[in-house]
Amino acid sequence: MNKDFDRRDFLRLTGAAAALAAAGCATAPATKARVVVIGGGFGGATAAKYIRMWEPAIEVVMVERANIFTSCPISNLVLGGSKTMEDIRHRYDGLRKYGVQLVLDEATAVDAAKRVVKLERGGDLAYDRLIVAPGIDFMFNDISGYEDAMKANRVVHAWKAGAQTIALRKQLEGMKDGGVYVLSVPLAPYRCPPGPYERACQVASYFKKAKPRSKVLILDANPDVTSKGPLFKKAWAELYPGMIEFRGNSKAVGVDAKTGTVRLEVEDVRGDVLNVVPPHRAGDIAVKAGLITANNRWCGVDWRTMESTAVKGVHVLGDATLSAPLMPKSGAMANQHAKICAAAVVAMINGQAPNPEPKIANTCYSFVSDDEAIHVASVHTWDDKDKTLKTVPGSGGVSAARNELEGRYAWAWARNIWQDTLG
Ligand SMILES: Cc1cc2nc3c(=O)[nH]c(=O)nc-3n(C[C@H](O)[C@H](O)[C@H](O)COP(=O)(O)OP(=O)(O)OC[C@H]3O[C@@H](n4cnc5c(N)ncnc54)[C@H](O)[C@@H]3O)c2cc1C
């Protein structure tokens, strides 16, 4: 056992023992250390699984508030109507065969000095190393009237797949032919740079079949389409002529539920369905754990280990991180962060040095119709001079053109990453 770890510490498990028992988890035999993971998304679930695969002597406890994994990737196709919620929901059971202990609960606080996570239903969960992968939460206060309008079901973000995906699809189905769907995009960085433009394609694809006089209006806080711009614009012009309008430099500052308008800095824009995506920051638990290091929003990490630059012994993954240069916030990246982290945690617990030069890659596919897709790819490697991950010159790129073969690759990508993340 690594001398950094105190055996008494990792055996401390008070009220959480009940939760573990309730989750059907057997107590692990003699272990080298316990790792607690907060969040079972693309980052957290992958890290939990890979630590167990690479070092079965480490006990891994994953705390997740949702009883089912709902994938944001492919959720836009649910809005388009070619897929259903069942296609994007996956059970967590697969992780059990790797010996990951699942706790269905909300992590409410972290005491890094005592190395304890507090749970909503009561009980403390002691850890030797903690992995925090909570994804994002929204900065609702940046858009006046948002929360009231959301409570009144007059605005949705649908930027966390789940109930809001269903609500948005229902609103689109209920909209009259000739209506206007407004999609407001926050300033980058936000999760999934091409996601809004894929959504515009999917909603237009539905309108083309079901209500062809309707319009998609994209109000983008960014000056231009932030990812795969020429490919998206070509798809809009050729597949949905006259249906999608893009307005750059159009940042939402308010929502008025009564008049059904999105307030921009210079004008008000009316719509029948308002899909306003607020700016994001790292998930609440990262804030409570003191992990935020940049702009009151994101968590700085050492990219060789994913260890927080603010709190020792705590690693942060996925969308919650302060992104390295040109690194998107994506499920693919969160899954790759998790592998850097899992390898580093296993090495550190075994008293070895983590890989000094990690390399990871990202591919994001976007469906521009039911079956045609486009992609963007990048490779990121450790840069010792600037102490961060940087893109490898000449690597990556975008599709030459949209086509059905890419659509098949996109499906294969989705099935692979769900399997890789959840077992
Ligand atoms: C519409 C849309 C389309 C997308 N398409 C793609 C795509 O095609 N490809 C791609 O790579 N990426 C895509 N993304 C981005 C991708 O979904 C995110 O980047 C990814 O989910 C980030 O993973 P994560 O693990 O950081 O966070 P999440 O996947 O959000 O996971 C965080 C988890 O933590 C849990 N949690 C948070 N706080 C707590 C707490 N206190 N206690 C217990 N549990 C907690 C949450 O319930 C959640 O399950 C898309 C996103 C959207 C919105």
Q: How would residue 30 be classed by pLDDT, with cut points 50, 70 and 90? A: confident
Q: Is the CB of 43 under 6 A from ligand 1?
A: yes
Q: 184: Cβ below 6 Å to ligand 1?
A: no
Ligand 1 neighbour 186 (Cβ under 6 A): no
Ligand 1 centre from 6 Cα, in Å? Answer: 33
Specify the residue with its C-alpha closest to ligand 1, atom 41: 107
Q: At residue 6, does pLDDT exceed 50?
A: no
Per-residue pLDDT of 334-346, as tens digits, reads 999 999 999 999 9
pLDDT of 9 reads 31
CA of 36 to the centre of ligand 1 (A): 18
Distance, CA 191 to ligand 1 centroid (Å)? 8
Q: Does 196 sit in the ligand 1 pocket, CB within 6 Å?
A: no
Among 36, 37, 38, 42, which residue has the most ligand 1 atoms within 8 Å of its CB, making it the best to mutate? 42
- Average pLDDT, rounded, for the chain: 93
Q: Answer yes or no: is the C-beta of 41 below 6 A from any ligand 1 atom.
A: yes
Ligand 1 pocket mutation, candidates 74, 280, 330, criterion most atoms within 8 A of CB:
330
Cα-to-centroid distance, 331 and ligand 1 (Å): 7
Q: pLDDT, tens digit, for every residue of 105-132?
A: 999 999 999 999 999 999 899 999 999 9
Minimum CA distance residue for ligand 1 atom 27: 135
pLDDT at 66 over 60: yes
Q: Is the peptide bond before 189 cis (omega within 30 degrees of 0)?
A: yes
Nearest-atom number in ligand 1 for the CA of 108 is 41
* pLDDT grade for 1, boundaries at 50, 70 and 90: very low
Nearest CA to ligand 1 atom 26: 318
- Closest ligand 1 atom to 71 CA: 17
Q: Is the pLDDT of residue 28 over 80?
A: no
- Cβ of residue 192 lying under 6 Å from some atom of ligand 1: yes
What does the pLDDT look like over 133-150, one tens digit per residue?
999 999 999 999 999 999
318 Cβ inside 6 Å of ligand 1: yes
| pLDDT of amino acid 287 | 98
Tens of pLDDT, residue by residue over 344-387, are 999 999 999 999 999 999 999 999 999 999 999 999 999 999 99
Closest C-alpha residue for ligand 1 atom 19: 330
Residue 55: pLDDT band with limits 50, 70, 90: very high
Segment 319-331 mean pLDDT: 98
